[in-house]
Chain A
Amino acid sequence: MHPHPADSSSQEQTPPHSETPPPGASHPVHSMRQRVRSGLQAVAQAGVALLATLVVAAVLLALGGHSPGGALGALYMGAFGSWNRFVSFTLVQATPLLFTGLGVALAFKAGVWNIGAEGQLYAGALAGVAVAVLLPGANPVLLVPTTLCAAAAAGALWAAAPAAMKTRMGVSEVITTLLMNFVALYFAQFLVQGLLQESRGIFNMTDEIPAAAELPPLLPGTRLHLGFLLGIVAAVALWLYLTRTPGGFRVRAAGASVKASVVSGRFNPRSVIWLSFLGSGAFAGLAGWTQVAGITGRMYEGFSPGWGYTAIAVALLARLDPIAVPITAVIFGALSAGGGAMQREAGVPEVWVRGTEALLILAVLVVDRGVRAASEKGHG
Chain B
Amino acid sequence: MPAARLRRVTKQFGAVTALDQVGFGLAPGEIHGLLGENGAGKTTLALVLAGLLSPDAGRVEIGGRPFDAGNAAAALRHGVAMVHQHFSLVPRFTGLENIALFNRGAWTRRGAPAPGYRTQVERRARELKLDVDLDVPVQALGVGSQQRVEILKALMSETRVLLLDEPTAVLAPPEVEGLFAVLRRVATAGTGIVLAAHKLDEILGVADRVTVLRKGKRILTKETRDLPARELVRAMVGDPNGSLPDVMPAATPPRIPRARSFGPRGSARSPNKPAPVASLANVTVADVTTGTAGRQALRKVDLTVHRGEVLGIAGVEGNGQRELAAVLAGVRRPDSGTVVLPGEIGWIPQDRTREGLMVDFSILENVALALHQDPSFRKGPWLDWAEIERRTATLTREMDVRIPRPGAAVRTLSGGNQQRVLVGREFLRGGDLLVAESPTRGLDVRATQAVRTRMAELVRTGNPPPGIVLISADLDEVLDLSDRIAVLVGGRLVPAPPGNPARAAIGKLMLSTGKEAGREGETGANKAKQPARGKGA
Contact = CB atoms under 8 A, between A and B. Distances in A.
In-complex A–B contact (CB below 8 Å): yes
Interface stretch (B5-13, B352-360, B442-450, B480-488): B352-360
B373 A264 contact: no
Nearest to A241: B381
B369 interface: yes
B335 A34 contact: no
Given A2-B330, A257-B354, A375-B412, A265 B369 contact: yes
Interface in A2-33: 2-12, 21, 25-31, 33
Interface in B254-294: 285, 288-289
Contact of A38 (B334, B382, B404, B407): B407
A154 interface: no
Contact of A265 (B285, B334, B360, B370): B370
Contact of A30 (B329, B355, B406): B406
A5 B285 CA distance: 18
Interface in B336-371: 341-343, 345, 347, 349, 351, 354-358, 360-362, 364-366, 368-370
Interface stretch (A74-82, A102-110, A248-256, A341-349): A248-256
B441 interface: no
A266 interface: yes
A2 B364 contact: no
Contact of A8 (B289, B335, B343, B365): B335
B331 interface: yes
Contacts of B351: 259
A264 B356 contact: yes
A2 B355 contact: no
A259 B355 contact: yes
Contact of A4 (B330, B361, B406): B330
Contacts of A168: none
A263 B355 contact: yes
Contacts of B355: 259-260, 262-264
Contacts of A29: 362, 364-365
A263 B326 CA distance: 8
Interface in B306-351: 326, 329-335, 341-343, 345, 347, 349, 351
Contact of B369 (A12, A244, A264): A264
A349 to B, nearest CB: 41
B349 A263 contact: yes
B326 A11 contact: yes
A31 B407 contact: yes
Contacts of B347: 263-264
A244 B342 CA distance: 29
Interface centre among A8, A29, A34, A264 (most CB of B within 10 A): A264
Interface string B488-524: 0000000000000000000000000000000000000
Contact of A256 (B343, B349, B360, B389): B360
A8 B286 CA distance: 10
A249 B407 contact: no
A11 B372 CA distance: 21
A352 interface: no
B360 to A, nearest CB: 4
B466 to A, nearest CB: 14
Interface residues of B, number: 47
Contacts of A260: 354-358, 369
B391 interface: no
Interface string B398-439: 000000101101011000000000000100000000000000
A26 B409 CA distance: 10
Contact of A264 (B335, B349, B378, B411): B349
A7 B409 CA distance: 31
Given A8-B333, A11-B332, A244 B372 contact: no
B498 to A, nearest CB: 33
A267 interface: yes
Categorize the interface residue count of chain A.
35 or more
A27 to B, nearest CB: 8
A379 interface: yes
Contact of A37 (B349, B381, B407): B407
A245 B331 contact: no
Nearest to B356: A264
Nearest to B374: A246
A28 B364 contact: yes
Contacts of B289: 12
Contacts of A31: 364, 389, 406-407
Given A30-B362, A265-B370, A4 B383 contact: no
Nearest to A372: B360
Given A34-B407, A379-B412, A26 B360 contact: yes
A353 B21 CA distance: 64
Contacts of A244: 382-383, 385
B389 to A, nearest CB: 6
Contacts of A266: 330-331, 373
B382 to A, nearest CB: 5
B332 A8 contact: yes
Interface centre among B326, B343, B372 (most CB of A within 10 A): B372
Contact of A253 (B331, B369, B378): B369
Interface string A246-284: 100110110011011111111100000000000000000
A5 B213 CA distance: 43
Nearest to B286: A8
Interface centre among B288, B354, B357, B362 (most CB of A within 10 A): B362
11 contacts: A2-B345, A30-B365, A30-B407, A249-B365, A249-B383, A260-B358, A264-B347, A264-B355, A264-B357, A264-B370, A375-B411
Given A260-B357, A264-B425, A265-B369, 11 more contacts: A5-B331, A6-B331, A30-B362, A30-B406, A34-B406, A244-B385, A249-B368, A260-B358, A263-B355, A264-B356, A266-B330
Interface of B: 285, 288-289, 326, 329-335, 341-343, 345, 347, 349, 351, 354-358, 360-362, 364-366, 368-370, 372-373, 378, 381-383, 385, 389, 404, 406-407, 409, 411-412, 425
